[in-house]
Homo-oligomer: A and B are copies of this chain.
Amino acid sequence: MSTIPDFTLPHGLRVPPLGRRLRLGQIGGGRSSVVGAWHRDGARLSNHWELVAGLLSRDPARARLAAADQIIPDDRAYTDFRAMAELEAARADGMEAVCICTPNNSHYELAAHFLQAGFDVILDKPMTSKLADAEALARLAQTSHGLLALTYPYAHHAMIRQAQGLVAQGAVGTIRQVVVEYLQEWGTPATVDDAPSAAWRRDPERVGRASATGDIATHAYHLLKTVTGLGITAVRADFHRCGGARAMEDTAFIKLQMDNGAPGQIWVTQAAPGNHCGLRLRIFGERGGLEWDQEFPEQLKLRLLDRPEQIFWRGHGGGMTAAAERLVHLPRGHGEALSDAWANLYSEIGVAIAARRSGVSLASGLVQYADDAAGLDGVRFVEACADSAEANSAWTELVR
């Protein structure tokens, strides 16, 4: 285990890699932002990070107010990203990484600027609103000093690591079909799109060619690939507006062709009353099936042919793999949930950054996060879905 230094242990339990917290700045995430709080909670709970600077609004008064909420002093409450990069780089205690939680169309410019300025960049998904931008950003990330990470938090639940391990061990045998759904209700009344917090999600200028697909199908796609280890070669997408007359799709049925020949499906909708964060994964193999539901993240169900159903519960022992136990923070039954997944995400990224700086090589697969390649892959998926939907739901190859 000589390649696994102590600092690879999960959030909050052991001394972080550098003997101090990494200094984080945030762009986006003002008072009306939901996503911004998730990033901050994960960073805090991980104990690997401290938030030292913010560009939380372009309006100076709002920027200062939102920064004050986070105990960020006025002089580090920025309203211009170039100034932020320049001034923080100049400080001895300046921020080292930036997390970007703005609408999709700003991702490229912001991420490219901070990468080029030598910062590590933590970027909300999807990577960009345009494929060309994603390709350019991925190329840039390859040559940057800093690391580029995308935030797909659901993949950081301990039981997703457990599912990944069980599949890799062959628990279910060869995978024969996979179905992922992600259902929400917030978009049921079309009028909700008039609210500022929702408006940008249906604006092609800001989100790109797809709405719900980029917003939530990307999570489903990433989760499916993370757990199964399979690639997707082609998609066929039906876009619908089930919440009423609105600018872009709120619902998509996306049929998948997987690279082992098995079929798959992703179904997402934001117009399903009674569903809130209904991300559910079902994998069926030749010997068994696996099922996980984000709203009950502590359990993973394994059903082998001619055996009692087995439920793995997050915790130490009880059939957990070592890799999944790394992400276990609270004892079994003492619930972890979404902020714990975000904390795992920020721990993993923190460890990766520290290892990179320290010249330590981590055992393959030990520390996981979505890198630039995964980010580009996500945008290619959205583009292929949009192509398919525009082509009357024709099967469309996924460039890889």
* Residues in A lying within 8 Å of B, measured CB to CB: 12-16, 19-21, 31, 34, 37-38, 40-41, 44-45, 47, 65, 68-71, 172, 176-177, 179, 184-185, 188-189, 238, 240, 242-244, 251, 253, 255, 262-263, 265, 267, 269, 271-278, 282, 284-289, 291, 294-298, 301-313, 315, 317-319, 329-340
Contact = CB atoms under 8 A, between A and B. Distances in A.
A311 B308 contact: yes
Contacts of A184: 333
Given A273-B304, A274-B289, A276-B313, 14 more contacts: A15-B65, A15-B69, A15-B71, A37-B329, A189-B305, A238-B263, A273-B288, A273-B305, A274-B304, A276-B315, A276-B333, A277-B335, A308-B312, A334-B338
Contact of A287 (B273, B277, B312): B273
A178 to B, nearest CB: 10
A303 B282 CA distance: 23
Contacts of A69: 12-15
A274 B291 contact: yes
Given A276-B332, A289-B275, A313 B318 contact: no
Nearest to A20: B71
A317 B47 CA distance: 32
18 contacts: A15-B69, A19-B71, A37-B329, A41-B45, A44-B45, A176-B188, A176-B271, A177-B240, A177-B269, A238-B255, A243-B286, A265-B267, A273-B304, A273-B305, A277-B332, A306-B317, A309-B311, A330-B339
Contacts of A12: 37, 40-41, 44, 69
B305 A309 contact: no
A190 to B, nearest CB: 9
B274 A45 contact: no
B263 A273 contact: no
A45 B339 contact: yes
- 8 closest cross-chain pairs (CB), A and B: A276-B333, A274-B303, A335-B337, A277-B333, A337-B337, A274-B289, A309-B311, A273-B289
A37 B329 CA distance: 9
Nearest to A9: B69
Nearest to A51: B47
Given A188-B286, A273-B287, A307-B318, A267 B179 contact: yes
A282 B269 CA distance: 13
A48 to B, nearest CB: 10
Given A16-B71, A177-B240, A338-B336, A38 B330 contact: yes
Nearest to A37: B12
A75 to B, nearest CB: 15
Contacts of A304: 273-274
Contacts of A301: 274
In this complex, the member of A40, A305, A308 whose beta carbon has the largest number of chain B beta carbons within 10 angstroms is: A308
A333 B282 CA distance: 18
B274 A244 contact: no
A262 B291 CA distance: 28
A284 B308 contact: no
